[in-house]
Amino acid sequence: MVVGVKMKKLVVLTGAGISAESGLKTFRDMGGLWEQYDVTEVASPEAWRKNPELVMRFYNERRKVLFEATPNAGHMALAALQEHFEVTVITQNVDDLHEQAGSKSVVHLHGELRKAQSTVDSRLVYTLKNWELKMGDLCEKGSQLRPYIVWFGEPVPNMSMAAELAKQADIFAVIGTSLNVYPAAGLLDCISRDVRVYLIDPNMLPVSARKNFTFIKEYASVGVSLMAKELIDALNGF
């Protein structure tokens, strides 16, 4: 790192794919979670009203896997880029593997699996000590706790902050997301036209052609390091 020189802003949008190699299932790949579960039955306010036990069980299962997971080479390579860039990670993931890898600035768009939220006062959020959240676990106001997840049909509180960050990006990267879910996928429309955009995914995605666009068709564990090398070489004038 060069002291006194303002670092470029690297803003990264991540999705389930970056955590796949840590053993967390993605949603829309073959064998993904939405093949096993009906999204409306487990990830919506209606589902919570209709069958809170099922919703609780779904997120408890996810949390149990997370408690045993560790960051992979993709999360680590991204965190290491903080040596050279001002990195902000905007993630759709509800895991905390970016934080565990050492990323300092992480914005969660869809909530956090390790936390629970009051059903009467959304400002009351608690960090869970273990993977299991149960019916009967109450907030300090005596109401049932729910998973701290932004469900389909709910507003995304961190979206305007994320859009502002995307606007300020000098470089933007998209890693491991199918870009199927809005408003998160709309962040690509916020970035300036001349900004270099990297897309890291083992599968081709329908991203409209733009100038300064690099597609790295790799798993995150390999692709993030390739991107990092290219970015650092460019900084050093190679």
Q: List residues binding ligand OAD (CB under 6 A).
A: 15-18, 20-21, 26-29, 32, 43, 92, 110, 150, 152, 176-178, 180-181, 201-203, 219-220
Q: Which is nearer to ligand OAD, 180 or 214 (CB)?
A: 180
Q: Which is nearer to ligand OAD, 145 or 185 (CB)?
A: 185
**Smallest distance from the beta carbon of 141 to ligand OAD, in angstroms?**
26
**Smallest distance from the beta carbon of 15 to ligand OAD, in angstroms?**
3
**Smallest distance from the beta carbon of 204 to ligand OAD, in angstroms?**
9
Strand 145-149 vs strand 111-118: parallel, antiparallel, or unpaired? antiparallel
Q: How many CB atoms lie within 10 A of CB 203?
A: 8
Which DSSP helix (H) or strand (E) runs through 14? strand 9-14
**Smallest distance from the beta carbon of 20 to ligand OAD, in angstroms?**
4
C-alpha span between 175 and 220 (Å, rounded): 7
DSSP string, 196-215: EEEEE-SS---PPP-SSEEE
Q: Which is nearer to ligand OAD, 10 or 18 (CB)?
A: 18
Q: Which residue lies nearest ligand OAD, judged by its C-beta?
A: 17
Q: Which is nearer to ligand OAD, 144 or 178 (CB)?
A: 178
Cβ neighbours of residue 215 closer than 8 Å, sequence gap 6 or more? 198, 199, 201, 204, 207
DSSP string, 21-50: TTT---SSSTT-HHHHS-HHHHSSHHHHHH
Active site residues per annotation = 110
Which DSSP helix (H) or strand (E) runs through 160? helix 159-167
